[in-house]
């Protein structure tokens, strides 16, 4: 999404088109940068999911040298996600993709949550927690006339045990909202752990293996959190082995542990009781 302001244009995300979004076919149809970057003064990233940052290397290939603003945890996750993507998309070797990642790291500008950051000419930027994945954010732009443009990014559900709930912006004179699941009803978060408990219990009774394919960032950590809760409640430790078979998921989980201050109160309380919710 491109915002045109008096100081120039601000690019919100640099998404990777997937599936039905690719209209013209061909391997490069979802990657080429089809817009002019001449007036783009900055890129703002709401979070590190690959469908929101996947074209960053192609953006840099157009000689984009402006800053990339994001939250601190997102700045740590972006290179991890892009490294995995570069290997899968282009088959780059270690030296090749490290060269690309080093350029991206130089342009990343990690920001504190909930603090106005000056962009120049009386324009300001602020990140507000969105509870989608670790350090995902809603973005607010304050204009010289004090009006606020708000962009939701991807919003997480309420009452998740690992991350705190998002909060609505106090002011939004213009609101841009994602609507990926706007016409769907998700299962209630409160029923997730009991359903998982039933599935694990069924597998244990059958003396079988439970294989769970899941995203490396966000979903994996939520599953680890829920399984730890079940182990604590149901005393499954003697019969349940957990194997995380993904290098990327292990690296992302390490970042989640590094940013414990962003966890929910419930998750932090487990640490105080000598529990390890992301083991």
| Token representation of residue 262 | 């962003």
- pLDDT of 130 reads 92
3-state secondary structure (DSSP) of residue 132: coil
Q: Give the ranges where 127-218 is alpha helix by DSSP (H).
A: 192-205
| Count of alpha carbons within 13 angstroms of residue 214, beta-carbon side | 17
pLDDT band at 18 (very low <50, low <70, confident <90, very high): low
Residue labelled with tokens 């304050």: 142
Least confident piece of the model among 12-16, 92-96, 131-135, 221-225: 92-96
As a whole number of angstroms, the distance between CA 231 and CA 259 comes to 24
As a whole number of angstroms, the distance between CA 258 and CA 260 comes to 6
As a whole number of angstroms, the distance between CA 224 and CA 255 comes to 14
- pLDDT of 139 reads 96
Contact by Cβ (8 Å): 160, 189: yes
- pLDDT of 79 reads 94
Query: CA–CA distance from 146 to each of 28, 122, 143, 173 (Å)?
Result: 41, 9, 5, 10
pLDDT at 148 over 60: yes
Contact by Cβ (8 Å): 59, 33: yes
pLDDT at 160 over 60: yes
Calculate mean pLDDT across residues 185-202.
85
Calculate mean pLDDT across residues 259-279.
92
Under CATH, domain 2-176 is a member of which superfamily? Ribonuclease Z/Hydroxyacylglutathione hydrolase-like (3.60.15.10)
- pLDDT of 247 reads 93
Phi, psi torsion values for 139, nearest 5 degrees: -120, 135
Q: Give the ranges where the chain is alpha helix by DSSP (H).
A: 50-53, 56-60, 72-90, 94-107, 192-205, 219-234, 247-258, 265-272
Residue labelled with tokens 């950590």: 221
Sheet holding 2-5, edge to edge: 2-5, 8-12, 40-44, 68-71, 108-111
Sheet holding 174-176, edge to edge: 117-120, 123-129, 137-142, 148-151, 174-176
Of 54, 51, 106, the C-alpha closest to 82 is 54
Query: What's the burial of 138, exposed, middle or buried (CB within 10 Å: 0-12/13-18/19+)?
Result: buried
DSSP-derived letter for residue 143 is -
pLDDT band at 19 (very low <50, low <70, confident <90, very high): low
Looking at the chain, the domain(s) classified CATH 3.60.15.10 span: 2-176
Higher pLDDT, residue 239 or 193: 193
Q: pTM value?
A: 0.89
């Amino acid at each position: 999404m491109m915002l045109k302001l008096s100081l120039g244009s601000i690019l919100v995300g640099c998404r990777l088109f997937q599936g039905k979004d690719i209209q013209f076919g061909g391997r490069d149809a979802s990657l080429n940068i089809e817009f002019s970057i001449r007036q783009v003064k900055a890129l703002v990233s709401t979070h590190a999911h690959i469908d929101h940052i996947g074209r960053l290397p192609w953006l840099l290939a157009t000689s984009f040298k402006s800053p990339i603003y994001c939250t601190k945890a997102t700045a740590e996750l972006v290179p991890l996600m892009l490294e995995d993507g570069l290997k899968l998309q282009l088959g780059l070797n270690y030296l090749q993709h490290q060269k690309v990642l080093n350029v991206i790291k130089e342009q990343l500008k990690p920001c504190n949550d909930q603090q106005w950051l000056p962009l120049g000419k009386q324009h300001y930027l602020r990140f507000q927690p969105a509870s989608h994945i670790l350090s995902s954010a809603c973005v607010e732009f304050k204009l010289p006339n004090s009006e606020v443009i708000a962009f939701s990014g991807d919003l997480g559900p309420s009452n998740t045990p690992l991350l705190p709930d998002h909060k609505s912006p106090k002011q939004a004179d213009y609101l841009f909202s994602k609507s990926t699941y706007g016409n769907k009803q998700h299962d209630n978060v409160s029923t997730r752990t009991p359903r998982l408990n039933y599935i694990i219990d069924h597998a244990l009774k059958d003396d079988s293996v439970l294989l769970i394919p899941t995203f490396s960032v966000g979903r994996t950590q939520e599953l680890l959190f829920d399984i730890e809760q079940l182990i604590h409640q149901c005393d499954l430790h003697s019969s349940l082995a957990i194997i995380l078979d993904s290098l990327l998921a292990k690296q992302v989980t390490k970042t989640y542990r590094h940013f414990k201050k962003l966890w929910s109160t419930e998750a932090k309380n487990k640490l105080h009781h000598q529990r390890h919710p992301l083991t």
